[in-house]
Amino acid sequence: MSVNRYFIDLAYNGTAYHGWQRQPNALSVQELSEEALSKLLRERISIVGAGRTDAGVHGMQNFFHFDTDLQIESKHIYNMNALLTKSIAVKALYAVPSDAHARFDATKRAYLYKIHTQKNPFLEGRSWFYPFAVNMKLMQEATKSLLTYTHFETFSKKSTQVNTFECHITKALWEMTEDGYTFHIESNRFLRGMIRGLVGTLLQVGRGQISLEKWHEIVLSNNEQLADFSTPAHGLYLSLIEYPPFLKKIV
């Protein structure tokens, strides 16, 4: 019997998890997803995720792939959700070519970072309470300049092992919301800690702690010690992952 590959689209509230990736002595979204699939299909399933969100970061959309020689049907969405915790939800199942890869075949990733300016118990753990006045015009100007840069070593955590710091950002802006404002960014790839570093440093521009001129110096410095990575994880969401048109939805 031939082995088939499938993609699963899932969402999760990252509050209770030590990130996406399986690791010893800490609960992860990958671990629970693998356990649910293995129990459902009655065989040991290993999954490969599209992106590794950090501890406390949420996923509005993330993907992983797995292989099995069993026939996967739409009913497996309901059955897997019944096995998963309430903070993880399978949204869709896709049949894909045998060489499709959840991580390497992604063509675009998008994140958003939510900030609220008035204390709100209903946003606790899902948005960052930031009660400081900011100059949105200056923040937007600094943010817009991200589309003109491609090298983002400044906004990569020092412990990251990567072959390149090149990222091609296609969208970056702030959106005013009912509760405050949200940072949106899209790129072909991101570096570890990159969005939280960008948000923290852009807020320094908004509060007048650094000038626009200094902002550009920081971006070009390739020195991560000049970026502000102190923004908390619970405001960050992986919001979108796009692929070439090989996904065939199982309905």
What residues are labeled active site?
A: 54
Q: How many residues does the chain have?
A: 251
CB-CB contact of 51 with 109 (8 Å): yes
CB-CB contact of 144 with 172 (8 Å): yes
Cα–Cα distance, 120 to 100 (Å, whole number): 43
Strand bridging mode 4-12 / 88-96: antiparallel
Cross-strand partners of 238: 59, 111
What single DSSP character describes residue 109? Answer: E
Give the rounded distance of the alpha carbon of 149 from its chain centre.
21
Give the rounded distance of the alpha carbon of 74 from its chain centre.
26
CB-CB contact of 61 with 104 (8 Å): no
